[in-house]
Structure 1
Amino acid sequence: MRVDGIKWISSFPENIKSGIPRASAVLVLNDYDTGYPFACLESSIISAARTAASAALATDWLTRERVKPRRLGFVGAGLIARHIHTYLVAAGWDFEEVGVYDLSAENAAAFRSYLAAGEASVRVSVRQDAEDLVRSSDLVVFATVAAQPHVRDPRWFAHNPLVLNVSLRDLAPEVLLESANVLDDVEHCLKAGTSPHLTEQLTGSRDFVDGTLADVMAGSVRVPADRPVVFSPFGLGVLDLAVGKSVYDRVRADGDLRVVEDFFHELDRYGVPGHTGGPSS
């Protein structure tokens, strides 16, 4: 797409106590040939859309040789969970039941009301704990702000669900070692105290990693039907650039760009005679 850039995410979990989303984000797009920035976008929704699209894509590819999930469960009832649900529905998934669990009963109830309003024919319930949620779901989505593992018992996953490990730090190594593990990118995932990183530290190897989603799509990795499957997406910034460039192109085509005139203070390499320069306004 001939674009460079950078995404800056500011994640403050305490924000939710004030009724505002956990994360804010800015995306800067740079010209591929000159490096000059040509767009600055609010990016929390771009990032959420990229996360949700990745989750929906993984759900499609990782269930092609397995029984299709009919019971969807969310651990965590925030913005990311909502976007993942939206993308799954948009991709054509039809679930018989949706379960919700959150440490905040208020948040769980609010998410349940949101889901129930949009899917009158689907049974939506709030689960009492994470174990109940996991055991009653064929597709489990972890979308929390957990900083360290709190799900440790592999027996919760004895029914071999597909697990979207979106928040990356909910599952203990014991769970991953009993599962097939698919990542979006190995080097990205095996750092920063993620569940795969902790598993690597515990075992001293990466043998527990079956491959990447790209490997599955290319046919070089087969997804087993007789084990839980855990998809751990660290999140690839290059995908945010792709989504951001698509948004920019659409806004530009619609004539809705808001241009900051004279953003670049001085573009002449040696300056203009008689101009003293100075800081950019």
Structure 2
Amino acid sequence: MREFSVLPGRAVAELLAGRETEVVEWVREAYLAHEAGDTVNPDSYFLRFPDKPDSRIIALPAYLGGTREVAGIKWISSFPANVAEGLPRASAVLVLNDYRTGHPFALLESAGISAARTAASAALAATALGAAAPATVGVIGAGVIARTICQYLAATGVPLTDVTVHDRDDVSAAALTGHLARTHGASSRAGDLREALGCDLVVLATTALRPHIGEGHTLRPGQVILNVSLRDLAPGLLLTAQNIVDDIEHCLKADTSPHLAEQLTGDRSFIAGTLADVLLGRCAPDPGRAVVFSPFGLGVLDLAVGHHLYQRAGEAGRLLPVPGFFGETSRW
């Protein structure tokens, strides 16, 4: 029986640092394993609060087969009101379970892992969908996820030479533009929504609960939209684009923009395929339309990144064992 260990957030951050291209590859492998049926990824479970409609805690259980053979669950909260108090919006833990026995063997601080796998997914999609060298990048929503996505875009060769950042909070927009200039040498500025949405590559990373980008806005051919926050685009606007998702069943629920588009049209024919289809050459970007990538976020991605980090932490002596964590280690 494996000893139970903890991997704290500082160790997670240090193990992730400089590994962006590796993380993208881990995420790519997980997508392909999922496409091959070598995963189990049930629906996410949302804990909501009547007096806090913008807040939630989500459970993402999953199993990743192949060479990993690990199960687990991410438990991640999103409390947007934290931002006004200078606290992180999101916090998370990831539990890893042994596939043979079912016993949990590790607890990882996972806000950083969740941000990294989200950013890696976005960067993978950007390059796969033809946005490797956009002249302009627009970022709508200037939080941790947006910052991490920009980090992964830069690491995978997407130039941040001309970036427009839009956020309803001017302080957040200024903070991200300053960070991009200092860290990536980016020529960045705060701009309005229309300016950001008009860029060649657009990152949507807000906490919007319902669509706010629709009437009066257009998407143009050749644009790639990373619809990470999932609820910004009105369904009518979404239907003007070629739509790629990470998983059709998962993405078309919980009132995401694609889910609203399905309700509007009555079918799913507007979905061109999945990112795995693109990676495998079964679906190609349509140059005559904007391409929108909508990733619901799969628990298998957290497992892939978390298990890799667990292994590297063990090799580096960074795991913190918890002796006696299990009350009984034998049946009798």
TM-score by length of 1: 0.91
Determine whether 1:208 maps to 2:275.
Answer: no
Match of 1:75 in 2: 140
Which of 126, 131, 141 in structure 1 is aligned with 2:190?
Answer: 126
CA RMSD of aligned residues (A): 1.3
Does residue 1:189 correspond to 2:189, yes or no?
Answer: no
1:30 counterpart SS class: strand
Distance, in Å, in 1 between the alignment partners of 2:216 and 2:280 is: 29
Aligned residue-pair number: 265
Q: Name the structure 1 match of 2:280.
A: 218
Partners of 2:239 and 2:225 lie apart in 1 by 14
Q: List aligned pairs for 1:50-61, cutoff 5 A.
A: 50-61=117-128
Alignment of 1:186-265 (within 5 A): 186-265=248-327
Matched position secondary structure for 1:157: coil
Quote the offset at 1:154 in angstroms. Answer: 7.0
Q: Which residue of 2 aligns with 1:277?
A: none
Aligned pairs for 1:1-281 within 5 A: 1-63=68-130, 68-120=133-185, 122-127=186-191, 129-135=192-198, 137-153=199-215, 155-270=217-332
Q: With CA pairs under 8 Å and 6+ residues apart, which has the higher RCO, 1 or 2?
A: 2
Question: Which whole-Å CA distance do the structure 1 matches of 2:145 and 2:264 have between them?
Answer: 29
Q: Is contact 1:176–1:208 with CA below 8 Å preserved after alignment?
A: no
Cα separation, 2, equivalents of 1:58 and 1:154: 27
Q: CA deviation at 1:159?
A: 4.8
- Taking structure 2 as the reference length, the TM-score comes to 0.78
> For residues 111-136 of structure 1, what are the alpha-carbon distances to aligned partners after superposition, in whole Å with 9 as ceiling and x for unaligned?
1111111233x321100x2112112x
Given that 1:98 and 1:125 are in contact with CA atoms closer than 8 Å, whether structure 2 keeps it comes out as yes
- Whether the 8 Å CA contact 1:154–1:175 is kept in 2: the answer is no
Structure 2 CA distance for partners of 1:154 and 1:139, relative to 1, 3 Å = farther
Q: How far apart, in 1, do the equivalents of 2:177 and 2:183 lie?
A: 10
Q: 1:210-262 deviations in whole A, cap 9, x for unaligned? A: 00000011111111011010000000100100100011101100112111111
4+ long deviations beyond 6 Å: none
Question: What's the % identity of the aligned pairs?
Answer: 54
- The 8 Å contact of residues 154 and 178 in structure 1, kept in 2 or not, is answered as no
More displaced, 109-118 or 40-49?
A: 109-118
| 1:132-152, Cα deviation, whole Å (9 max, x unpaired) | 2112x1000000000000000
Question: Gaps (5+ residues) in structure 2?
Answer: 1-67
Counterpart code for 1:43: S
* d(CA) in 2 for partners of 1:158, 1:242: 35
Query: Structure 1: which 5+ runs fail to align?
Result: 271-281
> For the pair shown, which has the larger CA radius of gyration, 1 or 2?
1
